[in-house]
Amino acid sequence: MTTSTTNNKPRALIIGGSLSGLFTATTLRTIGWEVAIFERSPNELDSRGGGVVLQGDVLSAFHFAGVQSMGALGVKSGDRIYLDRDDRVVQRSYMPQSQTSWNMLYSTMRQHLPAEIFHPGERFVRFEQHGDRITAHFASGRVETGDLLVGADGPRSAVREQVIPGLAPNYAGYVAWRGLVPEKELPASAADVLAGTFAFQQGPGHLLLEYLVPGEDQSIQEGHRRWNWVWYLKVPHGEEFSALMTDRLGGRHAFSLPPGSLKDEDVANLMRKSTALLAPTFQTLIEATKEPFVQAILDLQVPRMVFGRAILLGDAAFVPRPHTAGSTAKAAANALALAKALQPLGADVDEALSDWQASQWREGIGMTEWGMRMGDRIMGFERSNVVLNAV
Ligand SMILES: Cc1cc2nc3c(=O)[nH]c(=O)nc-3n(C[C@H](O)[C@H](O)[C@H](O)COP(=O)(O)OP(=O)(O)OC[C@H]3O[C@@H](n4cnc5c(N)ncnc54)[C@H](O)[C@@H]3O)c2cc1C
């Protein structure tokens, strides 16, 4: 089946229906483009993901595209506190911010977009460009044409693999253990210490952080939210990393294991480490977590983001360390800048893409470099040797 636009609007084929794909769809529609999103997964994605620090770029993209949420998008925190191993607050400073969740942002954009632009269960395989037109081929046999192909297909992007074969994310030598605990399920001894704060424990070669995020039903009402935690721990490259990335059924995962899939021995190991290294408040938090999950920390930088009428954005282009709290913001900023560059309809698309790349590539390099420096310092690593290729 071959389809292309049925009207005079330019058409974007967006590969990947996660946050980058949705930011791109909402902002491009606003400037009059027709958009179609092709997502490999046949199911809704909204049950995945944990907490996300709510940054101004996300709000700017929402504002530009007229995306409205049912209520507040995030949970506010006031003080940042650092606990030591004995649960003493060793540092406290007032740094107000808001925290949201991956599924809050996803569902809010999903509801804003018309259902007919979504094409789940469509795995992109390759594209070709003829003049200004681009044709995308999918594993199902589907063929689509458009004026722009947007690779919003994440760290293991198939679009990137075609344009920069062999460029893959590097494992940074540590993982983020993560968990979410319904607000009421955390014993009062811990809840009283953590309430209203953004809390940390920095130990030798590890860092834990915790903050409240909206509930699974997106409620930000007290009692209905979730405690979200992330604990960075070293796992050496090689056998140990490979064993951790193997799930309870023996399946090997590239970089992350979703809730419920970890082996019992790995969860037991997490609990042992928690008892050995963490403040009692954080031990209680981790013990209260029913299904912890784990993500490898990755580094990725592309030498270019524009390849004719195919572009890379979000995590397909740059994967910053999570300490920047900026990946989602970067996805939003990439999408918003793209829409602004392509305005008004009829503008020279190639020129717009070139301008867009010049600004967004620099931002991506800046954020990933800063994240690597920060992450390596937190974990006590020597500076990573990253080879960069200028645009
Ligand atoms: C520990 C940790 C903590 C984090 N904390 C934060 C935080 O505090 N703040 C923040 O901003 N960000 C955070 N992030 C990152 C954030 O989750 C992502 O950066 C953000 O969701 C943008 O991702 P994306 O849409 O570009 O890619 P992804 O979310 O990876 O989505 C890519 C999509 O493309 C689909 N896809 C892949 N291949 C194909 C194909 N061939 N055909 C069709 N579809 C395909 C996938 O199924 C997927 O849905 C964190 C990440 C980690 C690991």
DSSP 300-369: EE-S-SEETTEEE-GGGTEE--GGG--HHHHHHHHHHHHHHHHPSTTS-HHHHHHHHHHHHHHHHHHHHH
Whether 144 shows a pLDDT value over 50: the answer reads yes
For residue 328, the ligand 1 atom closest to its alpha carbon is 11
- Check residue 390 and give its pLDDT: 31
The pLDDT value recorded for residue 383 is 62
* Model confidence pLDDT, tens digit, residues 147-204: 999 999 999 999 999 999 999 999 999 999 999 999 999 999 999 999 989 999 999 9
- Mean pLDDT of the chain, nearest integer: 92
Decide whether any atom of ligand 1 lies within 6 Å of the 18 Cβ: yes
Out of 164-168, 270-274, 292-296, 343-347, pick the least confident: 343-347
Q: Is 37 in the pocket of ligand 1 (CB under 6 A)?
A: no
How many residues in total does the chain contain? 391
Say what angle helices 327-342 and 349-379 make with each other, to 10 degrees: 170
Q: Residue 90 — left, alpha, or beta (φ > 0 → left; ψ -120 to 50 → alpha)?
A: alpha
Cis peptide before 344 (omega within 30 of 0): yes
Do 356 and 209 meet the contact criterion of CB atoms below 8 Å apart?
A: no
What is the largest distance, in Å, between two alpha-carbon atoms of the chain? 66
| Token duo for residue 75 | 């949970």
Mean pLDDT for 239-267 is 96
Per-residue pLDDT reduced to its tens digit, 353-382? 999 999 999 999 999 999 999 999 999 997
The CATH code of domain 75-98+170-297 reads: 3.30.9.60
Whether the CB of 20 sits within 6 Å of ligand 1: yes
CA distance 149 to 125: 12
Q: Based on the number of CB atoms within 10 Å of its own CB, is 371 exposed (0-12), middle (13-18) or buried (19 or more)?
A: buried
* H-assigned helices in the chain: 19-30, 56-65, 102-112, 158-163, 188-194, 239-244, 264-277, 280-287, 327-342, 349-379
Which atom of ligand 1 lies nearest, measured to the CA of 256? 53
| Beta strands 293-301 and 318-319, pairing class | antiparallel
Virtual torsion, Cα 277, 281, 287, 288, nearest 10 deg = -160
Tens digit of pLDDT for each residue in 320-334? 999 998 999 999 999
Q: Is the dihedral of CA 230, 234, 238, 240 positive or negative?
A: negative
Of 82, 81, 92, 85, the residue nearest 280 (C-alpha): 85
Amino acid at 176: A
Which pLDDT value is given to residue 1? 38
The predicted pLDDT at position 331 comes to 97
Q: Which atom of ligand 1 is nearest to the CA of 330?
A: 11
User: What is the per-residue pLDDT for 317?
Assistant: 98
Does ligand 1 have an atom closer than 6 angstroms to the CB of 5? no
C-beta of 67 in contact with ligand 1 (< 6 A): no
Regarding the beta carbon of 136 and ligand 1, being less than 6 Å apart is answered: no
Q: Measured from the CA of 155, which atom of ligand 1 is nearest?
A: 30
pLDDT of residue 6: 54
Query: Nearest CA to 292 among 242, 235, 227, 375?
Result: 227
> Which atom of ligand 1 is found nearest the CA of 296?
53
Compute the average pLDDT of residues 304-333: 96
Task: In whole angstroms, give the CA distance from residue 320 to residue 330.
Answer: 9
Quick one: pLDDT band at residue 218, thresholds 50, 70, 90? confident
Q: Is 158 in the pocket of ligand 1 (CB under 6 A)?
A: yes
Q: Is 124 in the pocket of ligand 1 (CB under 6 A)?
A: yes
Of the CA atoms within 13 Å of residue 205, those in its CB half-sphere come to 10
Chain region(s) in the chain for CATH 3.30.9.60: 75-98+170-297
Q: Is the pLDDT of residue 386 over 70?
A: no
At residue 253, does pLDDT exceed 80?
yes
Neighbours of 40 (CB within 10 A): 17
Residue 389 has pLDDT above 50, yes or no: no
Is the CB of 23 inside a 6 Å radius of any atom of ligand 1? Answer: no
pLDDT for the residue numbered 8: 84
Pocket of ligand 1, candidates 13, 14, 19: which has the most ligand atoms within 8 Å of its Cβ, to mutate?
Answer: 19
- Positions of CATH 3.50.50.60 in the chain: 2-67+104-169+299-379
57: Cβ below 6 Å to ligand 1? Answer: no
pTM: 0.91
pLDDT at 356: 98
| Best CA proximity match to 63, nearest among 30, 35, 33 | 30
Residues 6+ apart with CB under 8 A from 205: 234, 379, 380
Whether 387 shows a pLDDT value over 80: the answer reads no
Atom of ligand 1 nearest to the CA of 138: 42
Of the pLDDT bands very low, low, confident and very high (cuts 50, 70, 90), residue 108 is very high
Q: Indicate whether residue 152 lines ligand 1 (CB < 6 A).
A: yes
* pLDDT the model gives residue 391: 29
Q: How confident is the model at residue 264 (pLDDT cuts 50, 70, 90)?
A: very high
Q: Is the CB of 320 under 6 A from ligand 1?
A: no
How far apart, in whole angstroms, are the C-alpha atoms of residue 218 and residue 181? 14
What ligand 1 atom has the least distance to the C-alpha of 159?
Answer: 41
Q: Tell me, what's the pLDDT at 385? A: 47
pLDDT confidence band for 208 (50 / 70 / 90): very high
Find out whether the beta carbon of 119 lies less than 6 Å from any atom of ligand 1: no
Q: In this predicted structure, what is the pLDDT of residue 53?
A: 85
- Give me ligand 1 centre to Cα 279, in Å: 31
- The answer to whether the beta carbons of residues 296 and 177 sit under 8 Å apart is no
Mean pLDDT of 124-140: 97
Rounded alpha-carbon distances, angstroms, from residue 128 to 26, 174, 362: 25, 38, 27
40 lines ligand 1 (CB under 6 A): yes
pLDDT tens digit string along 30-69?
A: 999 999 999 999 987 766 667 888 889 999 999 999 999 8
- The pLDDT of residue 49: 65
Decide: 103 in ligand 1 pocket, CB within 6 A.
no
Nearest to 48 by CA among 104, 108, 132: 104
For ligand 1, the distance from its centroid to the CA atom of residue 19, given in whole angstroms, is 7
Task: Tell me how many degrees the CA angle 386-388-391 measures, rounded to the nearest 5.
Answer: 160
Which pLDDT score is estimated for 52? 84
Of 328, 360, 368, which is best to mutate to test ligand 1, by the most ligand atoms within 8 angstroms of its C-beta? Answer: 328
Query: What number does CATH give the domain 2-67+104-169+299-379?
Result: 3.50.50.60
